[in-house]
Structure 1
Amino acid sequence: MEELWHKACKHFAIPEDVAKSWYTRINQRLNESHSKRYYHNWNEMMQHKYEHLQHCRPALVLAAFFQYYSYDGVQPCVKGNCAAFEEFCCDASLDDVETKNLILKLLGDKSAESELESTWEEDANLLQDLDLAILAASSENYNRYCQLLRKEYGHMSDDDYKNMRLKVLQTLLSIPNIFSTTEFQTRFEATARANMKDEISTLKA
């Protein structure tokens, strides 16, 4: 992951000391033991995305590192993630406005205006697919994901969590394609649907 981060930073001429300090900062943030990041952490979520991120554009790689800088299973964290990225840009003296706005838009800032609309849409679809790739994991890893995700919703009763999770899974299964990109559809769609159907059976048992 470190090599991937530094490669993306080098593409945008980010000073090496800034890249190093922020890599450490993001790593520590995603490893915070008190934040209830049972799945959305460095060792689980980020490592799972590594294989796919190796082939992504540098802007998308940076977005993936900041996407869950702030995380709360109860409420959206777009504002916190965008604020962290803007702080990074300030430290790095990143003055490429188009790239900065593209990444802010990928992070969910609807006010960010970028002329790279086609690039944004393509990267946004891929960033979403990276998040959903865990659905096509091996049965063992998928079951682990389910267990860790349940812990992140520890504030919910079992019945409320089951109802919420069933609604999410059934909604995803009802659409023609879970994944937005052709590559992910080809490689992962069938496995993801099988895993989700198995989870639904477990939740209903």
Structure 2
Amino acid sequence: MEELWHKACNHFAVPEDVAKSWYTRIYQRLNESHSKRYYHNWNEMMQHKREHLLHCKPALVLAAFFQYYSYDGIQPCAKENCAAFEEFCCDASLDDQESKNSILKLLGDKSVENELETTFEDDANFLQDLDLVILAASSENYKRYCQLLRKEYEHMSDVDYKNMRLKVLQTLLSIPNIFSTTEFQTRYEAAARANMKDEISTLKICT
């Protein structure tokens, strides 16, 4: 992950000391022991994304690193994540406004404009698929993901969580494709659907 980060930073001519300090900062933030990042942390979520970030464009790498800089299972953190990215841009003296706006929009800032709407949509689809790729994990890893995700919603009762989770899974299974990009559909659609159907069966048994 460190190599990926520095490669992206080099593309945008980010000073080495800034790149190093922010890598450490993001790494530590995603590993905060007091937070409830049971899945959305460095060792779980980010490592699952690593393979798919190896050959994607630098702007997407930066977006993936900042996407969950702040995380709260109860409410969105887009504002906080955009603020962190803008602080990084300030430290890095990043003057590529088009790329900066694109990343901010990917992070959820609806106020910025992006002239390349088609490109943005492709990038947004990739980032979304990257989030969903855990659904196609091996059976063992998928069960672990389910356990960790449940812990992130420990504020919910078992009944409320199961109802919420069933609704999410059934909604995803009802659409033609879980994944938006052709590559992810080809590689992961079948496995993801099988895992989700197994989880639904388990949830219904436990209800």
Same fold per superposition (TM over 0.5): yes
Q: Distance in 2 between matches of 1:194 and 1:115?
A: 39
Q: Distance in 2 between matches of 1:123 and 1:62?
A: 12
Structure 1 stretches of 4+ moved >2 Å: none
What is the percentage of aligned positions where both structures have the same residue?
Answer: 88
- The normalised TM-score by structure 1 is 0.99
**Which residue is 2:99 aligned to?**
99
SS of the residue corresponding to residue 34 of structure 1 reads coil
Q: Deviations over 1:43-63 (max 9, x none)?
A: 000000000010211000000
Paired amino acid for 2:67: Q
Q: Distance in 2 between matches of 1:61 and 1:78?
A: 17
Q: Deviations over 1:35-91 (max 9, x none)?
A: 100000000000000000102110000000000000000000000000000000000
**Which residue is 1:13 aligned to?**
13
Q: Distance in 1 between matches of 2:75 and 2:201?
A: 28
Kindly indicate whether residue 43 of structure 2 is the aligned counterpart of residue 64 of structure 1: no
**Which residue is 2:74 aligned to?**
74
Paired amino acid for 2:140: E
Paired amino acid for 1:76: P
Q: Distance in 1 between matches of 2:152 and 2:112?
A: 30
SS of the residue corresponding to residue 34 of structure 2 reads helix
SS of the residue corresponding to residue 33 of structure 1 reads coil
**Which residue is 2:26 aligned to?**
26
Q: Is the 8 A contact 1:67 1:107 kept in 2?
A: yes
Paired amino acid for 2:89: C
Q: Deviations over 1:1-41 (max 9, x none)?
A: 00000000000100000000000000000000111000000
**Which residue is 1:175 aligned to?**
175
**Which residue is 1:162 aligned to?**
162
SS of the residue corresponding to residue 108 of structure 2 reads coil
**Which residue is 1:137 aligned to?**
137
Stretches of structure 2 that go unaligned for 5 or more consecutive residues are none
Q: Deviations over 1:116-135 (max 9, x none)?
A: 22221111000000000000
